[in-house]
Amino acid sequence: MGIQLGSLTIEDPVFLAPMSGVTDRPFRRLVRSLGGGMVVSEMIASGEMIRAAARSRRTSTDCAAEQPLIVQLAGCDPETMAAAARLNADRGAAAIDINFGCPVKKVVGKLAGAALMCDETLAARILEAVVRAVDLPVTLKMRLGWEPGDGAALRIARIAEAAGIRMLTVHGRYRSQFYAGTADWAAIRAVKAAVGIPVIANGDVATLAAVDRCLAVSGADGVMIGRGAQGRPWLIARAAAHLAGRPPPPAPEGAALLALVERHYEALLAEYGWERGVRVARKHLGWYAAGRPGAAGFRAAVNALTEPDAVRQSLRRFFLSPTETLAA
Ligand SMILES: Cc1cc2nc3c(=O)[nH]c(=O)nc-3n(C[C@H](O)[C@H](O)[C@H](O)COP(=O)(O)O)c2cc1C
């Protein structure tokens, strides 16, 4: 059930969704270390990236340590986006994804993200410019449209295919919904029928049963999982194995869960430095704790702690049962 995008082979069509402020490098590395699936970078603002690169004259290969990485670009100017795509190609990206899905005012106000679903001429110019700029496969992530009934998904999907886009990911919501309501997987089926390139379904896929239902309803070639992987980075590997007919690796519990959370925590401190890392880690620790007894108290305690060692002690107390704590 793999997907071939140029020279990039995606063995398991299960993608970790790009989520700004969530799927940073430590999270992506953790997901990848658990096996299976494919990861996409957080959205990068094309213009800012080019300016930063010019300032620092960096020629670093940011993506090299994260092979293969699909890098997602946001923006509204074809040439700027093409330049950002080239920069990421030089840095070792495996593919470039373009964001036509972001609903946030700051982004759509600049005619980027989901606003591009309303401007077919500009959308086509951006897609063509980026495809022309790099030898890598270029993919597109979009929504169903701006609002129900506008028919944008089918028009943009056809424009994308004609521009040379190799794969589409469709979040089954309209921009007007932001994240409200439920994702409409059935509407993705019409997109799949309109194009010959692979289509990935996204939105509200958070369990293995939902993977099956979403694929059955949408007819898509794979799934992309976002919020369902928050606090459950193993879900991508489990879904990948499930789709491939391999036994899914078990979700970690007890000492194995603690070890995973600790690994994630240390990686965040290393990435951001301990002062900022302690703050960035809080949301992740809250997600790991969610649904477990005492989660609210744990969250409140960790959110008030500023010393990594104190957080480490809290993690051990919370994620190990009393007997395991005694034995440790
Ligand atoms: C906090 C957050 C940040 C997000 N950032 C991005 C982003 O940078 N690029 C993007 O294409 N989508 C972004 N999304 C949308 C997700 O990729 C995904 O389409 C959406 O959450 C629906 O999938 P889910 O129900 O599996 O979470 C973001 C979503 C969330 C909740």
Helix (H, G, I), strand (E, B) or coil at 146: coil
What is the predicted pLDDT for the residue at 64? 72
Catalytic-role residue among 63, 76, 102, 118: 102
What H or E segment, with its residue span, contains residue 81? helix 78-90
Ligand 1 pocket test: which of 19, 116, 211, 284 has the largest number of ligand atoms within 8 Å of its C-beta?
Answer: 19
Could you tell me if the CB of 171 is within 6 A of ligand 1? yes
Question: How many whole angstroms separate alpha carbon 139 and alpha carbon 136?
Answer: 10
Q: CB under 8 Å to 185, separation ≥6 — which residues?
A: 172, 201, 203, 213, 214, 217, 218, 220
Residue 14 DSSP symbol: E
What is the predicted pLDDT for the residue at 61? 46
Could you tell me if the CB of 283 is within 6 A of ligand 1? no
Q: For residue 193, how many other CB atoms are within 10 A of its CB?
A: 11
- Look-up: residue for tokens 């430590």? 26
Question: How many whole angstroms separate alpha carbon 151 and alpha carbon 263?
Answer: 45
Q: Which atom of ligand 1 is nearest to the CA of 113?
A: 11
Question: How many whole angstroms separate alpha carbon 218 and alpha carbon 214?
Answer: 6
Question: How many whole angstroms separate alpha carbon 42 and alpha carbon 22?
Answer: 8
Q: Which CATH number fits domain 3-244: 3.30.420.60, 3.20.20.70, 3.90.1570.30, 3.40.50.720?
A: 3.20.20.70
Considering only CA atoms, which residue is closest to atom 21 of ligand 1?
226
> Residues 285-326: pLDDT tens digits?
999 999 999 999 999 999 999 999 999 999 999 999 654 444
* Model pTM score: 0.95
76 is catalytic: no
Domain boundaries, the chain: 3-244, 254-327
Could you tell me if the CB of 207 is within 6 A of ligand 1? no
Per-residue pLDDT for 10 more than 50? Answer: yes
Are 143 and 174 within 8 A, CB to CB?
yes
Of 15-29, 125-139, 310-324, where does mean pLDDT reach its minimum?
310-324
Could you tell me if the CB of 19 is within 6 A of ligand 1? yes
Copy the structure tokens of residue 154: 């089918």
Could you tell me if the CB of 230 is within 6 A of ligand 1? no
CATH number belonging to domain 254-327: 1.10.1200
DSSP notation for 250-297 = PPP-HHHHHHHHHHHHHHHHHHH-HHHHHHHHHHHHHHHHTTSTTHHH
Question: How many whole angstroms separate alpha carbon 11 and alpha carbon 268?
Answer: 28
> Residues 221-270: pLDDT tens digits?
999 999 999 999 999 999 999 999 999 999 999 999 999 999 999 999 99
Question: How many whole angstroms separate alpha carbon 152 and alpha carbon 168?
Answer: 14
Q: Which atom of ligand 1 is nearest to the CA of 74?
A: 9
Distance 101 CA to ligand 1 centre (A): 9
Per-residue pLDDT for 164 more than 90? Answer: yes
Q: What rounded mean pLDDT belongs to the chain? A: 94
